[in-house]
Amino acid sequence: MSRDSKTSLEAGLAAVKSEDWKTAKTILETVAMDDNPQRAVQAQIGLVVVYAKTGDIAGAMTLSEILAQSNNPEIQEWANRSLEELLKRNRTDINARIEEDGTGFVPFEDFNDSKPNINETIITPDNTPNHDNHEHSSSIVPVKINKLPTIHWRRSGRAKTWQEKKLDLIPLRLLTAGSFVALFWVVRIIIVFITSTINNTLVWLPFLEPIQLLYQDPTTFLLVLFFLLIATSPWLLDKLLSSLYGIQSLETTVLEMHSQEALRILKRFNTQRRGNIKIKLLPIAAPIAFTYGHLPSMSRIVMSQGLLQQLTDDEIAAMLALQLGHVAHWDASVMSLVLLVTIPIYKLYQLVSTWGDRVNITFVSYIYIAISSLIYGVWCLCTGCVIALSQVRLYYADLFATNFTGNPNGITRALLKISNGIANDIQKQEQTNWRLESLNISLPVGFKQSITLGSLAPHVTFESLLMWDYLNPYRYWLTVNNTHPMLGDRIQRLLAIVGKWRLDRELDIDNTNAIKVRKQIFGLQIAPFLGIPTGLAFALLIGVVWQTLYALKILNLKWIYDDWGFAAGCIAIGFSIGTLIRINAYFPELKSTSIQTNEHLPALLTNPAAIGIDSHGVKLHGKILGRRGVSNSLGQDLILQTTSALIKMHHVSFGQPVNPQDFIGRQVTVTGWLRRDATPWLDIQSVRTQTGKTINSTHPIWATVVAVAFQAWGAYILLKG
């Protein structure tokens, strides 16, 4: 460990001894994120004391619960004793106790004696995790509790009596079944491709024979496997999430410390549904929650430490009720299957990327980049099978939570705070936490939609930020590939219920009619995709005309297009023409007189009539955030942090020795096209560093290359016949 790191820990513990709680909290929360588990645990022990002394009993209990999961007996004993003291004091009026005796939790003069001897008992050659996998070991995962930006909340009330809205679950049931089928066939296609490739390779190689088993149809085996995975998903995901994500059991006493209402809701649901739902704790600072399992008696709800720390009593209860909705509606069963399929794939992508980062040979590094990118693509493909279910099920869960709690305002605040907390976590870590990305499909709010929304919230009203989500007439078309529904659309529906119940609204959002956007602009944006049905229609026309001319014996060339394979060529040409039509409008010339700068960013991002092709030329100053190395070779985690917001960036760097990933963590000036869709993003034209080095993006060039390639392919098919 470095001298500076040691000094920081010593300074934090010294501040605890001197009862300088503010300084101790600031220092120790930073040290608790350290990669060295020895120092992280020492910092967390100190934080338990600080939280207890400053009245944050819930925070002290949460950390004590985490420490109690340690394999070290001295740590377990100390943490359990801490929990007993905290629970004892919670049975009476906590605030009065704090004023009376300062909690009496751990005498500060005895702090060094009462805490376990970390240097002697925790770090040994047998149980010290290495740098590469310490996050996934059984040791304590350090967590830093981030503070959200200051945002004013109205704290609008809830209904005392209400009439529950009936839900038609048939569409959700059909979509759940369809998502299962889609995932099944995609995985089957992948398996067939892999087995065929292996056998073809063995046939091609000398002295080797293909494996006959790989020629078998995997349909029956895969179907049986999928049903077995669903049946055993609670226990399989318990093991998987425990080993890879560090989830731990969350005792009901600790949940009650954070939200008494949540515990009441859980007990009521278990009574009504004959359930036995277990609550798990995910020790990360981002406020998230998700559900896995199938039957109410065999389901688990995972809550992150950040969610328990950043949300209030009724908001935690609202998120718990939302997760209970997934159990009640049975969509959690298919989502559990998705997690069982996608988490190992994502982990493999992580491992290959890590191996690639250790290679210093350029050629070998490119191989790792290609393999990791391919695995990441497979992960995206499997996740994409349930995008429709992921969107629709959240609307149903919102309504279930509203019916169960009578608190649509609380659900609204919870969703917005989760978005803010995720954006705050990305800014603090200066990259997207891999847990967020790998679990994103199962979360109540997507991390991509939170990047800009959550970071811009302190600078712009929520009403302005969310207008695009419920006013843009093409919002549903432009979000077909989003993993989550638009947050503004969900909140508008919740606040419509608030209006019917005649409660004060958390936000001033009304059932306003959608604004008008020129159809020509939207048509131009989707021109490449319109080219596909247009090409197919043209192929049908050619086929009909050709068959007619042959039947009338005007032409005797039926053999040319007799198999209708030429339709693929027409589709390729249609896509190519649509792409070429869109390029000039999509990447207009950036004139210096019309380029917007940082101060214009909030106004540009709150225009409800904007769509992607209606871009704005911008020159923004900020810091590039994102993962480093092979894991970000596709630029999937490339974010510009400005003074007012985080902006997702898109960049094409094929054929260039340097790309923006090389400047992660540095201040830059980015020129490009700012686009406002469901997820705002910035298409890069150039990136300039403070030292004057400039990188130009080749996005328009490669778009043209792709269009020409499709046109050539289509022409070849037509000419070949």
And the tokens for 239? 């093991």
Among 30-39, 245-254, 275-284, the minimum mean pLDDT is found in 30-39
Is the pLDDT at 148 greater than 50? The verdict is no
Both structure tokens of 452: 């800009």
Confidence at residue 552, expressed as pLDDT on a 0 to 100 scale: 77
- For residue 43, the 8-state DSSP code is H
Q: What pLDDT is attached to residue 69? A: 67
- SS3 state of residue 623: strand
CB 31 within 8 A of CB 130: no
Helix (H) or strand (E) holding 449: helix 447-456
Nearest alpha carbon to residue 148 among 316, 318, 309: 309
pLDDT at 281 over 70: yes
Alpha-carbon 126 to chain mean position: 35
Only one residue has tokens 């088993």, namely 213
With beta carbons less than 8 A apart as the criterion, state whether 41 and 122 touch. yes
Task: Give the Cβ contact number of residue 406 at 10 Å.
Answer: 19
- Do residues 56 and 47 touch, judged by C-beta distance below 8 A? no
Q: Residue written as tokens 């490449």?
A: 528
For residue range 403-439, what is the model confidence (pLDDT) as tens digits?
Answer: 999 999 999 999 999 999 999 999 988 999 999 999 9
Kindly state the average pLDDT of the residues 209-227: 92
pTM of the model: 0.80
Question: Six-digit token pair at 330?
Answer: 């049975």
Q: 103 pLDDT band (50/70/90 cuts)?
A: very low
Phi then psi for residue 261, to 5 deg, are: -65, -40
Query: 316 or 569: which carries more pLDDT confidence?
Result: 316
Which helix H or strand E contains 702, and what residues bound it? helix 699-720
The amino acid occupying position 367 is: I
Closest CA to 567 of 536, 544, 531, 532: 536
User: How far from 393 is each of 172, 212, 329, 399, 443, CA to CA, in Å?
Assistant: 7, 42, 8, 10, 11
> What pLDDT score does 77 carry?
77
Comparing CA positions, the residue from 7, 30, 11, 8 lying closest to residue 20 is 11
DSSP letter at 355 equals: H
> Residue 254's pLDDT band (boundaries 50, 70, 90)?
confident
Q: Minimum mean pLDDT among 110-114, 454-458, 654-658: which range?
A: 110-114
Among 488-497, 526-535, 621-630, 646-655, whose mean pLDDT is lowest?
646-655
Share of the chain above pLDDT 90, in %: 44
Q: What does the pLDDT look like over 378-400, one tens digit per residue?
A: 999 999 999 999 999 999 999 99
Question: Nearest to residue 656, comparing CAs of 690, 622, 702?
Answer: 702
Do 222 and 191 contact (CB within 8 A), yes or no? yes
Using N-to-C axis directions, what is the helix angle for 408-429 and 487-500, rounded to 10°?
A: 160
459-474 tens-digit pLDDT: 888 888 898 988 888 8
Mean pLDDT value across residues 626-635: 89
| pLDDT above 70: residue 23 | yes
3-class DSSP state of 640 = strand
Tokens of 340: 């069982």
Band of the pLDDT at 102, cuts 50, 70, 90? very low
Query: Which pLDDT band holds residue 719 (cuts at 50, 70, 90)?
Result: confident
**In which element (H, E) is residue 684 found?**
strand 681-689
Q: Name residue, tokens 């390029």.
A: 583
Average pLDDT of the residues in 269-293: 93
Residue 236 has pLDDT above 70, yes or no: yes
Of 253, 284, 282, 283, the residue nearest 266 (C-alpha):
253
Average pLDDT over the chain, rounded to whole? 83
Q: Give the whole-angstrom CA distance, residue 407 versus residue 497.
A: 10
Could you give the CA distance from residue 20 to residue 389 in angstroms, rounded to a whole number?
Answer: 50
Q: What is the pLDDT of residue 80?
A: 76
